[in-house]
Amino acid sequence: MVEAIKLNEKNNPQLKGKDFLQLSDFTTDEILYLLNDALELKEMQKQGQPHPFLSGKVLGMIFEKSSTRTRVSFEVGMLQLGGHAIFLSSKDIQLGRGESISDTAKVLSRYVDGIMIRTFSHDSVKELAEHATVPVINGLTDLQHPTQVLADLLTILEHKGKLEGLKLCYIGDGNNNMAHSLMEGAVKVGMDVSIASPPGYLPDGKITEAAIKEGLQTGSSVVITNNPLEAIKDADVVVTDVWTSMGQEEETEKRLKAFEGFQVNEELCKQAKADYIFLHCLPAHRDEEVTGDIIDGTHSVVFDEAENRLHAQKAILKHLLA
Ligand code: CP
Ligand code: NVA
């Protein structure tokens, strides 16, 4: 097990009742605190120690997009914490027939102790959080995927023994949820970030500016480039994601062309550090954004990363809902 990160006892944050919408809403200490707790919860689960911190609590989970990992890890996580999760497909609830987000938020708040939502617009999640009286957790929007990135940080910490000072390189669609949340999360914990994307697919300007500013406080650098070779040079962590995210299916052909030269493959990875690790949030398209020899190779930790969704989210749930 990785050593728990040292925290100033006085800085132990109070997260009860908070929403989890994007990592930029959290302090460095709060993120390290959640990672610490995720490590402890993981150990408890591995040792078979019961940990019913959320006994009797219920999480409502609204899904407007498909999911394997997010749905199953939240559901299993609630069960392991002694609570219960309810899967609410937008196809089946009145939200899908036009009931307002604010009414949905107010009604669900009368029944459940927390709401997780996966949807398209980030503003919808913000609106839900504004009107809900229970914590709202972002389970992916077009703009952000913060629970995934908390799991990614946990995975990096376990494999590298630290976060601060490492170089994380992301190659591919810079304008998607993963690139944005990775940038926000990495600078919070003092990692250098470099993102290589084709023109037209660079990260959101406001998120980039805010990350650069945050990096000045934490000692992280942020580099955005069109050159994958430059971005991956001496990277400790190499990350990619699909070129066509959920909801962009009509652009698939255009994107396949635009992202030529941005595939994570053996040749490109020669530029990373010899002991680099490879992450991908999954689902992956082998031989599009990453070759099979990389994602299934010795540097890849993608299944540890997938498992860590469970442990990282249990820490979030424990502190927000308890
Ligand atoms: N990584 C991730 O969020 O996977 P799912 O879409 O399967 O939930
Ligand atoms: N960027 C991807 C992540 C899937 C977990 C998507 O939004 O489809």
In the reported structure, the alpha carbon of residue 86 is separated from the centroid of ligand 2 by a whole-number distance in angstroms of 22
Q: How far is the CA of 214 from the centre of ligand 1 (A)?
A: 27
* 41-56 pLDDT tens trace: 999 999 999 999 999 9
Which residue has tokens 């899908």? 96
**If DSSP codes are grouped into helix, strand and coil, which group holds residue 155?**
helix
User: Of the bound ligands, which one is closest to the alpha carbon of residue 174?
Assistant: 2
- Would you state the pLDDT for residue 5? 57
Average pLDDT over residues 93-101: 95
Predicted confidence (pLDDT) per residue in 73-93, tens digit:
999 999 999 999 999 999 999
**SS3 letters across 68-89:** CHHHHHHHHHHHHCCCEEEEEE
What does CATH list as the number for 147-305?
Answer: 3.40.50.1370
Question: What confidence tier does 320 reach under pLDDT thresholds 50, 70, 90?
Answer: very high
CA distance 28 to 272: 27
**For a substitution probing ligand 2, which of 73, 125, 241, 280 has the most ligand atoms within 8 Å of its CB?**
241
Q: Hey, whose CA ends up nearest to atom 7 of ligand 2?
A: 245
Q: Which amino acid is at 312?
A: A
| Within this chain, domains 9-144+308-321 and 147-305 share the same CATH topology | yes
pTM: 0.97
Q: Under CATH, domain 9-144+308-321 is a member of which superfamily?
A: Aspartate/ornithine carbamoyltransferase (3.40.50.1370)
Mean pLDDT, rounded, for 17-23: 97
Instruction: Name the residues annotated as catalytic.
Output: 118, 145, 148, 241, 281, 309
Mutation probe of ligand 1 site: the residue of 282, 301, 303, 313 with most atoms within 8 A of C-beta: 282
pLDDT value for 13: 78
Kindly list the distances between the CA atom of residue 199 and the CA atoms of 126, 224, 240, 248, 265, in Å, as whole numbers in the listed order.
Answer: 29, 11, 17, 18, 20
Other residues' Cβ atoms within 10 Å of the Cβ of residue 105: 21
Q: Is the CB of 67 under 6 A from ligand 1?
A: yes
Model confidence pLDDT, tens digit, residues 218-263? 999 999 999 999 999 999 999 999 999 999 999 999 999 999 999 9
Max Cα–Cα distance, the chain, nearest Å: 55
Question: Which SS3 state, helix, strand or coil, does residue 224 take?
Answer: strand
Residue 1, pLDDT score: 43
> If you measure from the C-alpha of residue 313 to the centroid of ligand 2, how many angstroms do you get, rounded to a whole number?
17
C-alpha to C-alpha distance for 50 and 237, rounded to whole angstroms: 33
Element holding 320 (H helix, E strand): helix 302-321
Q: Domain extents for the chain?
A: 9-144+308-321, 147-305
Write down the residue that tokens 């650069």 correspond to.
Answer: 212
